[in-house]
Amino acid sequence: MAEGTSTITLSKRGAKRLRSGHPWGFRGEVLEASSSLEPGEVVDAVDQAGYLVGRGFYNPGSLIAFRMVTREPVALDEGFWSARLAHALALRDVVVPEEDTACRLVHAEADGIPGLIVDRYGDILVLQSLTAGIDRALAMWTELLAARTGVRGILARNDPRPGCSRGCLKSGGCSTGRFPGRWKFERMVTGSWLSR
């Protein structure tokens, strides 16, 4: 475990489920956690014997109290997230046809970035944060996405969400860039083109 990283202790069932590949630890599976932990704080989840299960985001106000990011005790810094984002974008380069100007660039846990959804519509990105952990670093995400994609604008859309009683942003708004009243994108859907 990294020095200075807080820990939470999971029940036997919670630790077993996370070790088998499930990405979440539920509030009822957290046996011990400091009351001073802030929503979205990075913590190490350990089993009852003190062995590391994984590192991720903790939110005591959510039913999904722990979201696994990695099983390794590595720093979840900008370099770590930049590498995860690069991997997600590289995958889209392979699976999304070049003609498509609309697609989901980041799909949260599926891309190893719990709670971050990013959709591309032409040269505009729409970012949605589903966790307090992502909320705490929205400025960093906006900068990383702008640098990696070169889009004209990034719109953060954080609608109220169920199960997040505290520690989550509940408003939307323009993060960066210029936004036209309308913009055009194309996406291939089951062999035919859809144009907006």
Q: What sections of the chain are H helices per DSSP? A: 12-19, 78-95, 132-135, 138-149
Percent of the chain with pLDDT over 90: 69
Together in a domain, 85 and 109:
yes
- Are residues 52 and 14 part of one domain? yes
Tens digits of per-residue pLDDT, 54-70? 999 999 999 999 999 99
pLDDT-derived band at 196, boundaries 50, 70, 90: very low
151 within a domain of the structure (yes/no): yes
Helices (H), 56-173: 78-95, 132-135, 138-149
Question: How much is the average pLDDT of 84-93?
Answer: 96
Q: Do 146 and 131 touch, CB atoms closer than 8 A?
A: no
21, part of any domain: yes
- The mean pLDDT value for 21-50 works out to 97
What is the distance between the alpha carbons of residues 101 and 103, in angstroms, rounded to a whole number? 7
* 56 & 96 share domain: no
Exposed, middle or buried by CB within 10 Å (0-12, 13-18, 19+), for 115?
buried
Beta bridge partners of 57: 42, 67
What confidence score (pLDDT) does residue 100 get? 85
Question: Does the predicted model carry a pTM greater than 0.85?
Answer: no
Tell me the pLDDT tens digit for each residue of 153-169: 898 877 655 544 444 44
